[in-house]
Amino acid sequence: MSQCLISLGSNLGQRSELLHRAAERVAKSSAVSNFRASRLYETPPIGGPGGQEPFLNAAAAFDTESSAHEILSLLQDVEQWLGRQRLRRWDARSIDLDVVLYGDLVGGDSHLVVPHPRYPARTFVLHPACDVADHYRDPRFGWTIGELSRHVAKAQPSLCLVGGDADLRRLICRRLTQDHGVITFQSTDRVMTAGTIANAPLPPSQIRFAEPPVQESISTDDAAMPAGPWVSDSLPSLDITDRTHWDDPRMPRLIARIQHVTEDSSWPAPHKIWPKGWRYPEYRLEVTDVEWAIGEVASALDSMRCPCRAVTDDGSWWR
């Protein structure tokens, strides 16, 4: 028996009715037992075409003896039953169902990656998930959903880019500042950055840390830290493996690991993405197109500070 966490969202049509029907259909499946739903939350749309309506979001947790792919198939069947059409990424949608966690499974293929590679940056997933799965633990870095949610909310939305190459990380930073007004910090050519980590992170004992660009222009006084979201193109010099540093405002809320996507490497072996021993939460950034990657990082920052307003008192809305 495995514990499964899913997310539910809708911003087209009769949102609450669509979510009710989706949750009821999943809960009544023979593959699902002990189904619990979060409260409903209303959140603004993040990324995608303009003019979209707000989302209603929820999370649900349940037990299952079915495989992760069988649960994904169940969710896709429910989406199709409710008329979901997939036209453009980040487009408005009548119903959106995703597998977030499935027990301690870490891995993926071209159809499914678990844990969901981008949920750590999404407060519209984390807040509802805390209602029903606060104690569920992400098997990649060992944090519970509750710990991750509180960590992301504790300081300004922030990411440190690792992987890929230094030029790509600097380009992303420059464009984030130019196109989105994001505060960014870039290392110099003389600084050893995290580029040697590439797509497969090294064990923590072998990681070389850069002097943080944040420290070069900003004091360690909390009041002097950026007043808005920020991105750095390298890891901080503070030891990211030391838990006593995790609340330091100079530490990014998440590591954004660049994963170059090709036909051969789009879904690498799990140990090449999340090795054992890496304990800091990550956001996986798949790079097929630089323009898309820049927009994705900007959306991740927006998602980390996305306001979530509960619109129901409990999780009984689906019954």
Question: Residue 199: which pLDDT band, with cuts at 50, 70 and 90?
Answer: very low
How many domains does one find in the chain?
Answer: 2
What is residue 244's predicted lDDT score, i.e. its pLDDT? Answer: 84
List the CATH number of the domain containing 37: 3.30.70.560
Q: Is residue 315 part of a domain?
A: no
Is a pLDDT exceeding 70 seen at residue 208?
no
What is residue 205's predicted lDDT score, i.e. its pLDDT? Answer: 38
Ranges 56-65, 87-96, 263-272: which has the least confidence: 263-272
Q: Is residue 45 part of a domain?
A: yes
Is a pLDDT exceeding 90 seen at residue 280?
no
Q: What residues contact residue 292 under an 8 Å CB cut-off, 6+ apart?
A: none
Q: Is residue 294 part of a domain?
A: yes
Q: pLDDT above 70 covers what percent of the chain? A: 77
Torsion sign over Cα 109, 110, 115, 118:
positive
DSSP string of 144-209, one letter each residue: BHHHHHHHHHTS--EEEEEES-HHHHHHHHHHHHHHH--EEE---TTS--GGGGTTSPPPGGGPPP
Range of the domain at 278: 158-190+226-305
Q: Which of 13, 27, 16, 35 is nearest to 84 (CA)?
A: 13
Say yes or no: 132 and 115 in one domain.
Answer: yes
Say yes or no: 96 and 120 in one domain.
Answer: yes
Is a pLDDT exceeding 90 seen at residue 13?
no
Question: Residue 211: which pLDDT band, with cuts at 50, 70 and 90?
Answer: very low
Say yes or no: 49 and 135 in one domain.
Answer: yes
Q: Is residue 206 part of a domain?
A: no
Q: Is residue 72 part of a domain?
A: yes
Q: pLDDT above 90 covers what percent of the chain? A: 48
What is residue 262's predicted lDDT score, i.e. its pLDDT? Answer: 59
Domain boundary among 94, 129, 154: 154
Is a pLDDT exceeding 80 seen at residue 35?
yes
Q: Is residue 208 part of a domain?
A: no
Say yes or no: 55 and 137 in one domain.
Answer: yes
Say yes or no: 38 and 164 in one domain.
Answer: no
Say yes or no: 149 and 186 in one domain.
Answer: no
Say yes or no: 165 and 103 in one domain.
Answer: no
Say yes or no: 118 and 185 in one domain.
Answer: no
Where is pLDDT greater, at 186 or 11? Answer: 11
List the CATH number of the domain containing 242: 3.40.50
What pLDDT digit, counting tens, does each position of 217-231 carry? 333 344 456 778 999
Mean pLDDT of 303-310: 94
Is a pLDDT exceeding 60 seen at residue 319?
yes
Say yes or no: 51 and 77 in one domain.
Answer: yes
Highest mean pLDDT among 35-44, 93-102, 200-209, 291-300: 35-44
Is a pLDDT exceeding 60 seen at residue 118?
yes
What is residue 87's predicted lDDT score, i.e. its pLDDT? Answer: 58
Q: Quick one: how far is CA 108 from the chain centroid?
A: 16
pTM summary value: 0.84
Average pLDDT, the chain: 81
Query: ∠ CA(214), CA(246), CA(295), 5° rounding?
Result: 60
Ranges 63-67, 149-153, 199-203: which has the least confidence: 199-203
Say yes or no: 19 and 71 in one domain.
Answer: yes
Say yes or no: 150 and 178 in one domain.
Answer: no
Q: Is residue 314 part of a domain?
A: no
Distance CA 14, CA 299 (A): 25
Question: Residue 18: which pLDDT band, with cuts at 50, 70 and 90?
Answer: very high
Q: Is residue 50 part of a domain?
A: yes
Say yes or no: 138 and 33 in one domain.
Answer: yes
CB atoms within 10 A of CB 103: 17
